Every structure is written in structure tokens, then in C-alpha cells.
A and B are shown apart, each in its own frame.
Chain A
Amino acid sequence: MDAIPLAFSWLLLSVIIALLAFVLYMTFVPGLPTEPGFTLRHWSNVASSRLLTSVIPNTAIVGFGTIFIGAFFALPLAWLLNRTNLPLRTIFTAIIGIVPVIPGFILAMGWIMLLDERIGLINNALASVLGIPSVALSVKDSPWGIAWVLGLILTAPIFFLIGGPLCRIDPSLEEAASVSGMKHLTVLRRVTLPLVWPGILGGMIYTFMTAVSIFEIPALLGAASGKVPVLASEIFYSVRPGGPITATFAYGAAGVYGTLLAVPSLLALYLYLRVLHQAERYQVITGKGYRSRETDLGAFAWVGVLFVVLYLALAVGLPIFVLVWASLMPVLQMPSREALAKLSFENYHGLLEELGGTDVIWNTVLVMGCVSLLVIFFSFMISWVVVRTRVPSRKTIDMLAMLPHAIPSLAFAFALAMIAILASRWLPWLPLSGTLGIIMIAHLVNRVPYGTRVMNSALGQVHHELEEVAQVCGTRTPTIMRRVVLPLIKPSVVYLAVWTAMLSFQEVTMALFLSGPHNSVLSVSIWGLWEAGSLGTAAAGAVAMVSIMGVLMFAVLKFVGGSATGLVGRGTAVPPPSETR
């Protein structure tokens, strides 16, 4: 009865394991995977001064700096929007829910146009106010700049990770503290904070894992020019030379970097799961229908509103504004009367051709559709085995399905690219190298951890007797899945489909890494325009992309019925591993 879902689970999981094994294998091969030989050279090169003096410190600064910036915004935001009577709370929360939908590299482009010694609008404004030729402040070419932009982007996931537990604290715990004579701030510090501490810690660890494995933002902000190399960018440029430092292929080195990146991430994942496990001991934080206590901000409400508005301006408002502005300007310049005269839709004319024509649109739609179907199918099969059967290996399967979350997406893309090279040599009929298929596999592997989390909790909510009675009634597993279980978890399936499609739409790292002449998607095209220096057209493309996202978001809100913003926000974070029977 369990054979079909089990077979599909192991099919995908063995692909994941094979890809990981391949990354390790590549570190011992002298050159291309097709060439024979064995070498330890790549590993001994790890001790190279460049790696130790710049790459690893930069990666660390990016990781911890992001945590710092993210926590700086997310902690007050979580408290203000969940536990106070701040005006406009629901609207603010909804907007923060939409932030993760905007592609990060587009926000990074916006920030370059805002804060750059040469072209930055803020720099120019400051310089003209102060009367100096230039202001030496830039998000580019500094790991702190990368951390700043990443921190702003990753604030939303931390916000939702902390917000959940913060809302669900049993108010009587805090009331008890108040009654026993504690002052308001003391309660916050002594009772509330310790209770949500696991949530905060989990959020920080998750932020670290995400920050160190993102490629596109460091690349835009200085890794591409070789000034701020981080591990993620090293992998990329080892295999896709074009960056200024690495002009040759270095597959082995890429494997080593991938491993170096995976090890701390795996450690972080382990810690994250431990923290979550610990959080379960605070069983007072349950999903019961508590109404948490709200702090009356009183006359200070405007300070809170100002803080939220400041964050939204920095994270979304300013970068998007500058992109819209840039897309309407022939050359980026300060807003002025003279500049307003030059406003035109010039950059939007022929945008479709610039982006690569209808092929690119079709590719993007195809990737979005297929990836969400694949993710749903495999997540459902894996979660079925994990939640619905007593197969002895189900715990292992659950752990393995989480694995891709800890491994940077770039490492999987790398392994897939290598396998594609092998395949083109030995199995020429297999359409891998440079096809949409390889991008889809990469996305599938990358999204399965989240997909299985959603499916695990959805299936866990379907009482096992609902399925058992269908068996007794004389129907077999495939019919039961189709007629009983899938209809019951339909909301989760729809949500997962839409969210996966949106993430596929904005994903650039893997699509770029695996791109060839015929499998370009929208995000890769915009990236290409930016790299080629056509800022105006790239900005126009970015604005178009954000608009499409906005329309999609709106459609989802209509479809799911309003409460989707919270879901979308949480979608960026990993929900806890579900309890297995």
C-alpha cells in the first residue's frame, strides 16, 4: 500500500543525496568530472591566504551583520505590531508580509542607485547640501553594505518567526508577573523575552543560514567586481568565470567552497532544530485562542509609527521609488525640475525584446508552473510516507527532505551543472545541460524542505481515521489520495502552489548559474541587463517584475481570502519539523 509514495520519496531523496555526494566527489577530481585522477590539491588550497584573509571573514561579517541589522528592525517591529495598540497595525503587517515577495536583487539594485559614491542619489543629495564633491558612503564594495541590504530584506522572515510565539504567549503569564508587582518594562525583560527567546534564536540562526548562501546580492554589491568575495560568489565564479578574479574554470575549488558553506549551515540547521525542540518545552506557548495583552503606547504611538514607516521606507519604499525613477530617466540623475522634463517611457519601449522576447516569458511561466506541480507532487508523496505510514525509514526520510534547506542552493546548482556536463558526454540524449529541465530540478530540490513542512502539517491535521475508513470501504491508496486526502488539504496545496510559483518567479541564483542560451528566465534577463550596464532598462524590467508580483499577490489574496499575507511572510521561514506518528 505504501510502495508508491515510498518509491517517489526515495526517487527524489536519492537525487538529493547523489547531488551532495557529487559536490564532495568534485573536490577530489583534478579538473572536469569526466577526467580521471585523484587530487587533494583543492583541499590544500583552502589554506590559501585569499580564502582565509578575505573570503571567510567577509562571509562571517555578512552572516553576523545581517543578523544584527535584521534583529535591530525585526525585534521592535514584532513587538510594536503584535503586542501594542499601534495605529494601522493590520495594514503594516500586511505590507511586511509582501516584502519577501519582492526579489532581493531588485532591492539591491535600488540601494546601489541610492547609496553609491558615484551614482547614489543620497550621496549626491548630501554632497550638494554639504557642498563637497562626493560623499564616501556606499553599499557597494563592503561586507557591511551587503549585510545592510540583506538585513533589510531578511527582517520580514525574522519578524514572522518571532511574531508567532509573541502572539501566542498566554497573557496570564504576564498578568501574573504584573500582579506580583513587576513594572511593565521588567515584565517585558524578565517574562516576555525569555519566553520568546527560542523563537528569536531560531530566527537568527535561520537568518544566518540564508544570508551566507545568497549569491545575487553580494554579487551585485561587490563580489562580482572581486572586491568583496564571499563563499557563495566564489562558487559561482569558479564555475561560471566572467568575474575579474577567476578567469578559468575551477570546479574542484567550487566543490570545496560548497562544502565549506554547507558545513556551518548544517551546524546551524542542527542548532535551529534543537532550539525548536527546546521551544516545545515552553508548552504554555500553544495555539490556544488566547488574546494577548496589548501595551497602550499612549502619547508615544507616533514614535512607533515612525519606526515602522522608517523600516518600510528603507526596505521597500526608497529602493522601489528609485527604480521607478531610474526606469523613467534616460540616465540616472537627481530628481529636479530639469530632470522631470526628461521623464519618458523610453526604457519601457522594446523592453520585451531587451529581456529576450516572448521566449523568456514562456520559459518563466513554464518554470513557475512545472516547479509548483513538481514540488506539490513530491512533497505530498514524502509527507505521506512521513505522516501517514509506519515505514521504519520515515524519520530518515523526513530528515533528508530537510537537508536541502541547510545546503546552499548554489551547491546543488553546481552539482547539477557538473552532472549536466557528464550527461552531455555519456548520455547525449538526456536533455539537461542548458535546459529548463535542469532549472526545474534545481528549484524542486531547493523548495522540497518547505513543501514537505507545509504538507506534513496539512496531513497531520487530517485525522487518520478519515483515511482508514476509506480503506475499509474498499478503496485503494491512489483513490484515497485523490478522493479524500487531497480535497481535505486543498487550501494548503493551493497556498503551496502559489507560493512556490512566486519564489520560482523571483529566483535568480540557480537560474543564472544553470542558464544557457535557451533557458533564460525573466529574473536572469534583468540581471543580464544590469550587468551589461543598461541601468535604465534593467530598472524598467525590475519595475515590470515587481508589478507582475504585485498582481499575482493580489490574485492570491483574492483567492485565499485575505489571510494570506501572514502565510506568505512565514513562507520564507522554515516551519518546525512536524511530529511524526
Chain B
Amino acid sequence: MIRVVNLHKDFSTQQGTHAAVRGVDFEVHAGEIFMLLGPSGCGKTTTLRCIAGLETPDDGEIRIDDQMVFANRGQTIVPVYKRGVGMVFQSYAIWPHLTVFENVAYPLLYGINKVGRRQVRERVQKALTLVGLNGFEDRAAPLLSGGQQQRVSLARALVYEPKVLLLDEPLSNLDAKLRAEMRVELRALMKRLKITAIYVTHDQEEALVLSDRVAVMYAGQIRQIGTPRDIYVSPKSDVVAGFIGMANLLQAKVERLPVNGEDGTVTTVLGKLKCKLPASLSVGETVTVMFRPEDVVIGDLPPRCGDNVFLANVEEAMFVGSRFQCQFSLNAHKIQGEVSKTQVVETGQPVMIEIPPHVIHVLL
């Protein structure tokens, strides 16, 4: 449905040229919700704006619904208004001088998808129903709440039934509770309409909940593409691991390769760790190992003997409602972990921590 090949975009600033997007490739299938996730300044919004046509890329190809909209360094270029995509902006961009109805009707009245007057009313009603804003037609746009503005902006993007919907951090201006509700609602709506969507966000939770596939961007490049679960469970690099969820990352040296289905061993600052190792490694090689805080097992003293068991001190225990987020110190090294709210941990308390071999993931 959408295909982006080797996209490049530089911005010239007073300090010189800044490469915002450096060779981005991806393909979005029809009906898929595709997420561009990354920290601010990673080039995700620029990529989205290039697809919409609001930015002109320096190089690369963009294809929407089998139509080439950008190629040959701009020799083939379809202007924004002809691309026929829907877009929801971070600021919602609701025109304050128009009512809700006029805002939603605008594309049908003046855009290239003009329709007859009678049809306008019908389709605006339909779009407003879709987002749950019936009865708000004559409300002046500035008198709406953030969540309602968000819905108007969505209705306006959907009213001309685009095949592709682009969303630029649409939920980032909402409060936490509303945001959580809207995530679920938005996904259900997009799935119902079977619309192809590219969604930009820096909120990893949003990415995991909403998307079919996620592309993690960093410094203008895509680092990994996969389903939310893939990305979370087996990140390919420290950048991806660090951005999606919390992660303990350790430098490790391969000590012993796995034999007969047994685990291999690596040496880290914590000490020796048993874990699954890919066969392609050789002894003495340096790798990064990763494990999630929620996979660290916390036990009482005295420590049980066994592999991957260490004595640590509680440095910090933060109560976040459902659990404690803890930081342990182990050989002067910090390890993130989680303790259930029923367990009582106090700062300075010695504990036993276990990192089961199957939760340790080797990044290549």
C-alpha cells in the first residue's frame, strides 16, 4: 500500500546541514497500522511529512497505493493536495474561525474531492458519528475540549474516505487517562474502517498497544521493524532495547559456548552468567546481553546456591502503584528490577537476585 525506499532528507540550519532522515526503507501493507517510534529528533515526523508531501525529500522513492508520489529527486512529485491522504496533526489543527461542521466539511467543499451540497451534510454526519461527536455540529471549534478537538480532527481526516491515514503524535496532548482510552478506541476504529495507517509516536506504550508493526527509528534510520512483541522480546540492538521498555544492558565476554543443549556462559561485571547463546559466536567475543527488570527474580536471604544468583543491595525502591521499581547495586553496578507490591523492600536492605538464563537475551 505504501512503500518508502531509501528516503533521505537534510535540513539546512544556521549551524550547517542536519541529516534528519538517512536512508529509510519500509513497506506498509493494506489495512495495517504501522508505527514509527523513536525519541524526539529521530526523523519519524519528517518521514511522515515526506509521505504526506509537506516536506520534499532529497532522495528516495515514495509510493502510495501503487502511485509513485515522489521519485528521481523530485522530478516525479505529486503535490500534497493530490495525494489524497488523511492526516491528523499533533496540535489537531482545528480551524478556530469555523464550527465543528465547517471544519469537517472543508475537504468536501473546497478540496479536490468535492461533492454535492446534500452529500456534504450526509458525509459530515457520518464522520462525526464515527468519532462520537453527534450533536456538536454547530459548536465553535475553540469551545471544544482537547479530546473533542482530537475527534474533530480525526473526523476531518476521514470524511473524504482516504485510503491512507497519517497520524502525527495524535494523542500526545491528552491527559494520561484519556490517552489510554483513546488508544483502544482509535485502534478499534481504524480496524473497523480497514484503513492503512502510519502513526508517529515517541510513546512506546502507545506503539505496543496500537500497532500491528513497529519501526523503531533512531538518528534518522530505522533500527528494527517487527510486531510489538518481537520488538519487545527480541530487540536487535541496545538502542531498540533501551527505547522499548526498561532494560538492563551489560557488556559480556563469551566464556563458554553452549554444548548439548546446555546454556553457554558469559562473563560480565556482575560475574558469570549462564544464558542461551547463538552458535555463531566464538569464545572471547564481546557481546551485549539484555534482560528486562520484570524478569529479575527477587528472593529473601539467605541466598539459594545456583547459577545466575547474586547478592545485591536495594539502592532505591520507588512505589509506582502496581509494584515497586527498584534499583539494586551489585559489584558497584546498577541493576533495575521490580518487586511486587506485597513484598516489602527498604533502601539498604540486602536481597538475593536471580536472573534466569532464559530471560537473558544476547544483542548482536
Partner-B contacts on A (CB < 8 A): 1, 463, 465-466, 468-476, 479, 483-484, 487-488, 490
CB neighbours of B308 from chain A (8 A): none
Q: Which of B1-9, B92-100, B244-252 contacts A (4 or more CB under 8 A)?
A: B92-100
Complex formed: what's the CA distance from A99 to B321 in Å? 66
Contact of A465 among B84, B85, B89, B106 (CB under 8 A): B89
| Given A473-B106, A475-B111, A483-B106, A465:B80 Cβ within 8 A | no
Q: Does any Cβ of A come within 8 Å of B112's Cβ? A: yes
CB distance from A126 to the nearest CB of B (A): 60
12 A-B pairs with C-beta separation under 8 A:
A465-B91, A466-B93, A469-B156, A471-B81, A472-B86, A473-B106, A474-B84, A475-B106, A475-B110, A475-B111, A476-B79, A479-B110
Number of A-B contacts (CB under 8 A): 70
- Structural contact, B93 and A465, CB atoms closer than 8 A: yes
CB neighbours of B91 from chain A (8 A): 463, 465
- Structural contact, B107 and A474, CB atoms closer than 8 A: yes
A-B pairs, top 4 by smallest CB distance, nearest first, are: A474-B111, A473-B107, A465-B93, A471-B80
CB distance from A270 to the nearest CB of B (A): 20
- Structural contact, B93 and A463, CB atoms closer than 8 A: yes
Q: Is the interface of A mostly helix, strand, loop or mixed?
A: helix
CB neighbours of B148 from chain A (8 A): none
Nearest chain-A residue to B97 (Cβ)? A487
Q: Which of A465, A474, A479 has the most CB of B within 10 A?
A: A474
CB neighbours of A487 from chain B (8 A): 97
Q: Does any Cβ of A come within 8 Å of B87's Cβ? A: yes
Complex formed: what's the CA distance from A475 to B107 in Å? 7
CB neighbours of A466 from chain B (8 A): 93, 95
- Structural contact, B79 and A473, CB atoms closer than 8 A: no
Q: Does any Cβ of A come within 8 Å of B52's Cβ? A: yes
Contact of A488 among B84, B87, B95, B113 (CB under 8 A): B95
- Structural contact, A468 and B93, CB atoms closer than 8 A: yes
Complex formed: what's the CA distance from A550 to B148 in Å? 46
| Given A471-B54, A483-B106, A483-B110, A476:B81 Cβ within 8 A | yes
Q: Does any Cβ of A come within 8 Å of B34's Cβ? A: no
Complex formed: what's the CA distance from A483 to B87 in Å? 19
- Structural contact, B82 and A474, CB atoms closer than 8 A: yes
Q: Does any Cβ of A come within 8 Å of B324's Cβ? A: no
- Structural contact, A469 and B87, CB atoms closer than 8 A: yes
Complex formed: what's the CA distance from A488 to B95 in Å? 8
CB distance from A489 to the nearest CB of B (A): 10
CB neighbours of A484 from chain B (8 A): 95
Complex formed: what's the CA distance from A470 to B87 in Å? 10
CB neighbours of B113 from chain A (8 A): 474
Contact of A470 among B52, B106, B112 (CB under 8 A): B106
Nearest chain-B residue to A474 (Cβ)? B111
Q: Does any Cβ of A come within 8 Å of B70's Cβ? A: no
CB distance from A395 to the nearest CB of B (A): 11
CB neighbours of B106 from chain A (8 A): 470, 473, 475, 483
- Structural contact, B89 and A469, CB atoms closer than 8 A: yes
Nearest chain-B residue to A392 (Cβ)? B12
CB neighbours of A471 from chain B (8 A): 53-54, 80-81
- Structural contact, B89 and A473, CB atoms closer than 8 A: no
Complex formed: what's the CA distance from A474 to B97 in Å? 19
Contact of B79 among A1, A463, A470, A490 (CB under 8 A): A1
- Structural contact, A488 and B107, CB atoms closer than 8 A: no
CB neighbours of B54 from chain A (8 A): 468, 471-472
Contact of B81 among A465, A475, A483, A488 (CB under 8 A): A475
CB distance from A302 to the nearest CB of B (A): 46
Complex formed: what's the CA distance from A465 to B113 in Å? 21
Complex formed: what's the CA distance from A334 to B212 in Å? 92
- Structural contact, B110 and A472, CB atoms closer than 8 A: no
| Given A468-B54, A483-B106, A473:B160 Cβ within 8 A | yes
CB distance from B84 to the nearest CB of A (A): 7
Complex formed: what's the CA distance from A465 to B160 in Å? 19
Q: Does any Cβ of A come within 8 Å of B90's Cβ? A: yes
Nearest chain-B residue to A471 (Cβ)? B80
CB distance from B44 to the nearest CB of A (A): 16
CB distance from B185 to the nearest CB of A (A): 21
CB neighbours of B107 from chain A (8 A): 473-475
CB neighbours of A465 from chain B (8 A): 89-91, 93
Contact of B111 among A1, A463, A468, A473 (CB under 8 A): A473
Complex formed: what's the CA distance from A468 to B153 in Å? 13
Complex formed: what's the CA distance from A159 to B22 in Å? 53
Starting from the known contacts A465-B89, A471-B81, A473-B81, 13 additional A-B residue pairs (CB-CB under 8 Å) come to A468-B52, A468-B54, A468-B93, A470-B106, A471-B54, A472-B83, A473-B156, A473-B160, A474-B111, A483-B106, A483-B110, A488-B96, A490-B97
CB neighbours of A474 from chain B (8 A): 81-82, 84, 107, 111-113, 160
